[in-house]
Amino acid sequence: MPVPAINFGPLLEATRPDWEARLRELFTRQQFILGPQVSGFEAEFATATGADHVVGVGNGTDAIQLALRAADINGEVLTTALTAPFTGIGILGAGCTIRFADIDPETLQIDPADAGNRLRKKTAAVVPVHLYGQPCNIAAIRKLGLPVMQDACQAHGATAGGKALTAWSPMVAYSFYPTKNLGCLGDGGAVVTNSARLAAKLRELRDGGRRGGQVTFVRGINSRLDEMHACYLRAFLLKLGEWNEDRRRTARLYDEGLRDVDGVRLIRRTDESVCHLYVIRAKRRDKLRAFLSSKGIGSGIHYPVPLHLHPTYRECGQKRGDLPVAEKASREIISLPLWPYLPESAAMEVVQAVRGFYGA
Ligand SMILES: Cc1ncc(COP(=O)(O)O)c(C=O)c1O
């Protein structure tokens, strides 16, 4: 049986009556931008994340950009070298420069000690990422003493140290890219905050600097969550807890099935992880990928090139060899299929295929 890296079918079916009813309502009302579906979703996602305010925007990249702009961050922003390229694009979009910290070899999350060593006079903020759904060591990042803005684009439903993510920084950025734990059927994102002042600023910035009328007061951008996507998001949000549990269940099956395989190294995670991706470090990674593909098993690499080696981020001045842990990890990591409703038999098939590849 083929096992795709991701499969939206079952979750669309499980929520169909809810999103169909919302879409019918939307077609009747015919208000497609900033209407009741978006405000309803914002209120519901605020409750789900334990925050006071949510501002829906066009995508996670814009959420990062607008949060940094709302906080008036100017200067150099430090983030992890192992993340989606869009973390950096959001930072550059805010008019900041960028620099990268290395990662912890066990968790692949930003290494707070290394981050501390890379701070300079011009470092204005840190953007830690909760990669693969695992909360990073945000308490240690906070202790660096700089403004923090969390990239939680892969961590819907996660808490850190038993607290809501908003307990750790004034703003938290989310993406609703379709493959996320909470995704829409296109692009979407949000900034979550407990500050009414920041929420108002974000609402202005996302809507071209307008305050509800046709006059623009600040140089905003046009980045609003669509009503249509909010219809799907409201339906999917009701299932987020269940879907995260399902992801955890599959992750545990992979742990058990692969723990003893010579050639595979598991990534350390805690119970607070929402298991967005299941990533292992694998010897002969590219050959393993080809082998899995020959058996109809999808996989991914998140991410194959650390950000300091992307041409776009050349200005950071960091070169090959400067972030050795991230560089090594990016050559070894592979993401195995992980999605809600992935049948146990399919997960076992993946386990058997990986074991077979290594002769385990
Ligand atoms: C860690 C991380 N940051 C930022 C983003 C950007 O989100 P979006 O694709 O919605 O712009 C993503 C998703 O691609 C991501 O995974």
Architecture per CATH, 9-237: 3-Layer(aba) Sandwich (3.40)
CA distances from 252 to 155, 206, 348 (A): 18, 40, 11
| Distance of CA 233 from the midpoint of ligand 1 (Å) | 16
Could you tell me the strand order of the sheet in which 150-151 lies?
A: 53-57, 189-193, 171-175, 150-151
**Best of 57, 65, 77, 86 for a ligand 1 pocket test (most atoms within 8 Å of beta carbon):** 86
Distance CA 258, CA 49 (A): 33
pLDDT computed for residue 244 by the predictor:
98
What are the structure tokens assigned to 147, written together?
């403004």
Buried b (16+ CB within 10 A) or exposed e, 240-267: beebbebbbebbebbeebbeebebbbbb
In order of 8, 34, 155, 176, the CA distances from 183 in angstroms are: 10, 18, 11, 4
Q: For residue 177, how far is its CA from the centre of ligand 1 (angstroms)?
A: 7
**Which residue among 62, 177, 206, 303 has the greatest number of ligand 1 atoms within 8 angstroms of its CB, and so is best to mutate?**
177
| Cβ–Cβ under 8 Å, residues 223 and 58 | yes
Query: For a substitution probing ligand 1, which of 87, 92, 182, 187 has the most ligand atoms within 8 Å of its CB?
Result: 87
pLDDT score recorded for residue 328: 98
Nearest atom in ligand 1 to the alpha carbon of residue 61 is: 11
Who lines ligand 1 at CB under 6 A?
A: 59-61, 83-84, 86-87, 129, 151, 153-154, 175, 177, 187, 189
pLDDT (0 to 100) of residue 1: 83
Within 10 A of 8 (CB to CB), how many other CB atoms are there?
Answer: 14
pLDDT tens digits in sequence order for the chain, 360 residues long: 899 999 999 999 999 999 999 999 999 999 999 999 999 999 999 999 999 999 999 999 999 999 999 999 999 999 999 999 999 999 999 999 999 999 999 999 999 999 999 999 999 999 999 999 999 999 999 999 999 999 999 999 999 999 999 999 999 999 999 999 999 999 999 999 999 999 999 999 999 999 999 999 999 999 999 999 999 999 999 999 999 999 999 999 999 999 999 999 999 999 999 999 999 999 999 999 999 999 999 999 999 999 999 999 999 999 999 999 999 999 999 999 999 999 999 999 999 999 999 999
> Are both 9-237 and 240-357 of the same fold?
no
| Secondary structure (3-state) at 24 | helix
The token pair that represents 99 in the structure block: 């620099």
Counted residue by residue, the chain has a size of 360
Domain borders along the chain are: 9-237, 240-357
282 forms beta bridges with: 264
Which residue's C-alpha comes closest to atom 4 of ligand 1? 87
β-pairing, 278-282 with 264-266? antiparallel
Rounded to whole angstroms, the Cα distance separating 243 from 16 reads 15
Identity of the residue numbered 91: I
Ligand 1 center to 61 CA (angstroms): 6
CATH of domain 240-357: 3.90.1150.10
